[in-house]
Amino acid sequence: MYTQSFSVPDGDPAAAKSRVQPISASEAALQASFDQRIDADGRIEPQDWMPEAYRKTLVRQISQHAHSEIVGMLPEGNWISRAPSLKRKAILIAKVQDEGGHGLYLYSAAETLGVSRDQMLDALHTGKAKYSSIFNYPTLTWADVGVIGWLVDGAAIMNQIPLCRCSYGPYARAMVRVCKEESFHQRQGYEALLVMMQQGTVDQQAMVQDAVNRWWWKCLAMFGPPDADSPNSAQGMRWGIKRISNDDLRQKFVDATVPQAKVLGVTLPDPDLKWNESRGHYDYGAIDWDEFWATVNGNGPCNKERLSTRVKAWNEGAWVREAALAHQHKQQQRQHKEAA
Ligand code: 3HC
């Protein structure tokens, strides 16, 4: 359903790349070589010189992304013990485990920029760091698990495929595997819903529609504020970190999802949703940005619960981290002894 091909044009890169004012001749040369590489659509690697603002932007985005992956394990993890069959339970366990893995690749990618995992986790646990708004909503029924796969992972992959071409090498490479796994997540969600819609009872079909009604608008908001209100977009695009704008990705998601909803037999809860022949896209209604910002700022329905669950898991896992360090220490001592 979602292509791995990267065929969307990036605009005019030569005109768009940033030029930070250099402070010395040697720094000017470094800046020029950085700009040249960005202009040529090349990759920046951890050992390369980079402007401090570029580094900070990446740390911000990659760490927020990593936090989203691990907080994203919670709403679905909630359903592992209540999955309706062994098959669905096995799939869900694998999926939730994948999300944990995505978090780990992304924390590793961010660490190459000189920030430690402890610093990033501390920012998450103290509420200073953002993570995706979407994970602050409750999963009320089993249909929510299918809808998260279909719509939430579908939206995530739409946003993440262009990140495989991000200018920062470690992030781009991590995203290739993440996107392959997200494709599976999206498909398993869609298939679970298809079974409920085509073979389920009237009550099960109603449960799917109810879940779609509750998640649709949150998924549209997930792409971030409108381009005109997105403070980081212009610079992120100039640096080749972001490749497609928030609004363009949102539109691509709507256009891809409407036909899928038709096959599924559900109604997307938007009376303004209709094909616009002249634009060649679906028009859609107004997103509630006040609700989005309230959630991003910590006041969504599950923000407090999500954070306290994360902090509890971190605290309760302290003995595992201590045991792993003690084991490593022991191994090192043994190796030293053998070498002596
Ligand atoms: N939830 C929470 N905060 C959000 C947000 C969302 N859905 N969308 C935007 N924001 C925040 C931004 O982080 C930024 O805050 P900051 O300046 O304090 O860091 C602010 O709102 C303004 O937004 P911008 O559009 O200017 O910010 P960006 O240029 O960084 O774009 C983004 C936002 C599109 C989310 C971009 O950072 C991005 O593509 N990030 C990588 C992908 C990602 O993090 N996805 C999260 C979901 S992952 C997931 O869903 C897991 C999967 O398993 C389901």
Report residue 48 as tokens: 């390369």
Q: How far apart are CA 3 and CA 19, in angstroms?
A: 33
Closest protein CA for atom 51 of ligand 1: 69
Q: How far apart are CA 166 and CA 274, in angstroms?
A: 33
Closest protein CA for atom 21 of ligand 1: 224
Closest protein CA for atom 38 of ligand 1: 61
**Are the CB atoms for 159 and 223 separated by under 8 Å?**
yes
Q: How far apart are CA 266 and CA 70, in angstroms?
A: 30
CA–centroid distance, 222 to ligand 1, in Å, is 7
| pTM attached to this predicted model | 0.92
Q: How far apart are CA 206 and CA 210, in angstroms?
A: 6
For the residues 208-224, what does the mean pLDDT come to?
A: 98
CA–centroid distance, 225 to ligand 1, in Å, is 9
Looking from the CA of residue 230, the nearest atom of ligand 1 is 26
For the residues 121-147, what does the mean pLDDT come to?
A: 97
pLDDT of residue 21: 55
CA–centroid distance, 184 to ligand 1, in Å, is 22
Q: Which long-range contacts (CB under 8 A, 24 or more apart) does 18-22 make?
A: 18/51, 18/235, 18/238, 18/239, 20/51, 20/53
Q: What is the pLDDT of residues 113-128, one digit of tens each?
A: 999 999 999 999 999 9
Looking from the CA of residue 131, the nearest atom of ligand 1 is 2
Q: Could you tell me the sign of the dihedral formed by the alpha carbons of 307, 313, 317, 318, in that order?
A: positive
**Are the CB atoms for 10 and 166 separated by under 8 Å?**
no
CA–centroid distance, 324 to ligand 1, in Å, is 33
Residue 6 has pLDDT above 60, yes or no: no
CA 17 to chain centre: 25
pLDDT of residue 24: 86
Q: What is the pLDDT of residues 286-322, one digit of tens each?
A: 999 999 999 999 999 999 999 999 999 999 999 999 9
Q: Residue with structure tokens 């669950």?
A: 309
Spatial CA neighbour of 153 closest among 10, 303, 256: 256
CA–centroid distance, 22 to ligand 1, in Å, is 29
Residue 13 has pLDDT above 50, yes or no: no
Give the 3-state secondary structure of the chain: CCCCCCCCCCCCHHHHCCCCCCCCHHHHHHHHHHHHHHHCCCCECCCCCCCHHHHHHHHHHHHHHHHHHHHCHHHHHCCHHHCCCHHHHHHHHHHHHHHHHHHHHHHHHHHCCCCCHHHHHHHHHCCCCCCCHHHHCCCCCHHHHHHHHHHHHHHHHHHHCHHHHCCEHHHHHHHHHHHHHHHHHHHHHHHHHHHHHHHCCHHHHHHHHHHHHHHHHHHHHCCCCCHHHCCCHHHHHHCCCCCCCHHHHHHHHHHHHHHHHHHHCCCCCCCCCEEECCCCEEECCCCCHHHHHHHHHHHCCCHHHHHHHHHHHHHHCHHHHHHHHHHHHHHHHHHHHHHC
Question: What is the chain's alpha carbon radius of gyration, rounded to the nearest angstrom?
Answer: 22
* Burial group, residue 152, by CB count within 10 angstroms (0-12, 13-18, 19+): buried
Report residue 20 as tokens: 């930070």
Residue 20 has pLDDT above 70, yes or no: no
For the residues 40-65, what does the mean pLDDT come to?
A: 97
Q: What is the pLDDT of residues 147-167, one digit of tens each?
A: 999 999 999 999 999 999 999
Closest protein CA for atom 25 of ligand 1: 230
pLDDT of residue 10: 41
| Per-chain mean pLDDT for the chain | 93
Looking from the CA of residue 57, the nearest atom of ligand 1 is 30
**Are the CB atoms for 109 and 171 separated by under 8 Å?**
yes
Look up residue 283 and give its amino acid: D
Ligand 1 proximal residues by C-beta, below 6 Å: 60-61, 64-65, 68-69, 72, 99, 130, 132-133, 152-153, 156, 159-160, 222, 224-225, 230-233, 236, 242, 246, 296
**Are the CB atoms for 66 and 117 separated by under 8 Å?**
no
CA–centroid distance, 61 to ligand 1, in Å, is 7
**Are the CB atoms for 272 and 285 separated by under 8 Å?**
yes
CA–centroid distance, 56 to ligand 1, in Å, is 15
